[in-house]
Amino acid sequence: MKKFVFAAALIASVGFAGAVQAADVTLRITSQLPMKSHIGQNLLMFKKEVEEKSNGDIAIEIYDSAQLYKDKEVPAAVGSGSIEMGSVSLTRYVGDVPAVDIFYQPFMFDTEEKVRKAVAKGSPVRDPLDAAIADTGSTVLWWQAYGGAIMLSKDAPLHGPKDLEGKKVRVFGKTLGDFVAAAGGAPTLVSGSEQYIAYQRGTVDVGMTGVSGVKSRQLWEVMDNITVTNNADVEFIVVVNNDVWNGLSDDQRAIINAAAMNAEADVRDRMGAIEAEAYSASEEAGMIVYHPTEEEFAKWRAVSQPVYDSFLEDSGDLGKQVFEAAKKF
């Protein structure tokens, strides 16, 4: 009887302690990328800091690999409050904010220096985009570097626009599609989480992605050539529902903001090493990594002018504003 009473008391005390330690706020984050990707690891870094600094008052739950929402569904899911937070490709906001595709203007951000100037807080490119996204129901917490866009193919690398003529090309944004169309290809919008199967089944002939995605998704199993075009800068953003954000206390927002800025700086500073490691892993897996010649780059750039014209026509005053700001970089 004494043993029973002691056991019951122990259970009660453990239950009480668990209740005391339970989080006041739980924030779920959806991501299309696997946890082993650098985006997934960046989210884990954020989770650890927030939970530690809040003494467990804020709990972060990460749902990776499109368990809850596909990439294209994230803006609406977060904006409506169906989920509290999401990590999503910036271009997924193009329907509401066409100007976000400034980062996909061909060769506009072809150096790390230009990219860093554009994505810095206070930048005349980033700030207007963050403000416009807020109007969709979501607050941008931080940007996640994903690297330059590269092209994937089978059997041989790509030597210029002619190699895209008549080919179905996986893209992940309207402007990238315009670039492919200008080069004579047929752009096909395919979610990041569906890339592997699209290449495997031959739904598309050529792929466009960030090289880190080749490693995290093991795309070398279904494609065998990488052409290093770096024709666009791929950015992800982490967003939180406006009502959820505004409902947090000042202290909670301060903890989250600090962790977000640390996560942003970390992934940006490590991007070069992440890409180098991904290229190395791809080559070790048997892929050919091809760097176009200057003559070939000139051919790629030559087909880009209609893309700029289309962007400026479709993206309104905000598009013109960020385009002019980007040109000054």
| Separation of alpha carbons 66 and 49, rounded Å | 24
9: confidence class by pLDDT, cuts 50, 70, 90: very low
| Separation of alpha carbons 100 and 237, rounded Å | 11
The pTM score is: 0.83
Placement of tokens 């070398």 in the chain: 220
22: confidence class by pLDDT, cuts 50, 70, 90: confident
Across the range 232-254, mean pLDDT stands at 97
Q: What is the pLDDT of residues 130-157, one digit of tens each?
A: 999 999 999 999 999 999 999 999 999 9
Across the range 261-282, mean pLDDT stands at 96
DSSP 206: B
177: confidence class by pLDDT, cuts 50, 70, 90: very high
The pLDDT score that the predictor gives to residue 21 is: 54
Query: Do 33 and 260 form a contact (C-beta atoms < 8 A)?
Result: no
DSSP 194: G
Q: Interhelix angle for 250-284 vs 38-53, to 10°?
A: 150
Q: Which domains does the chain have, with CATH numbers?
A: 21-327 (3.40.190.170)
DSSP labels, 257-268: HHHHHHHHHHHH
In terms of C-beta density within 10 A (0-12 exposed, 13-18 middle, 19 or more buried), how is residue 3 classed? exposed
Residue 118 has pLDDT above 80, yes or no: yes
Question: HSE of 278 in the Cβ direction (CA atoms, 13 Å)?
Answer: 27
Q: What is the pLDDT of residues 203-242, one digit of tens each?
A: 999 999 999 999 999 999 999 999 999 999 999 999 999 9
Across the range 102-128, mean pLDDT stands at 95
Across the range 97-124, mean pLDDT stands at 95
The pLDDT score that the predictor gives to residue 111 is: 87
In terms of C-beta density within 10 A (0-12 exposed, 13-18 middle, 19 or more buried), how is residue 6 classed? exposed
List phi, psi (to 5°) of 105.
-65, 125
| Separation of alpha carbons 85 and 83, rounded Å | 6
Ranking 1-10, 288-297, 314-323 by mean pLDDT, the lowest is: 1-10
Spatial CA neighbour of 149 closest among 196, 190, 210, 207? 210
Across the range 4-21, mean pLDDT stands at 39
Between these two residues, 95 and 4, which has the higher pLDDT value? Answer: 95
The pLDDT score that the predictor gives to residue 110 is: 84
Residue 10 has pLDDT above 50, yes or no: no
Query: Do 217 and 200 form a contact (C-beta atoms < 8 A)?
Result: no
List phi, psi (to 5°) of 210.
-95, 145
| Separation of alpha carbons 260 and 43, rounded Å | 9
The pLDDT score that the predictor gives to residue 66 is: 94
Distances (CA, A) of 204 to 92, 153, 179, 190: 20, 10, 16, 9
Residues constituting the chain? 329
φ/ψ region of 210 (left if φ > 0, alpha if ψ in -120 to 50, else beta) reads beta
Spatial CA neighbour of 316 closest among 91, 97, 135, 89? 97
Residue 12 has pLDDT above 50, yes or no: no
Look up residue 113 and give its two tokens: 């220096």
Spatial CA neighbour of 176 closest among 185, 163, 187? 187
Across the range 92-96, mean pLDDT stands at 95
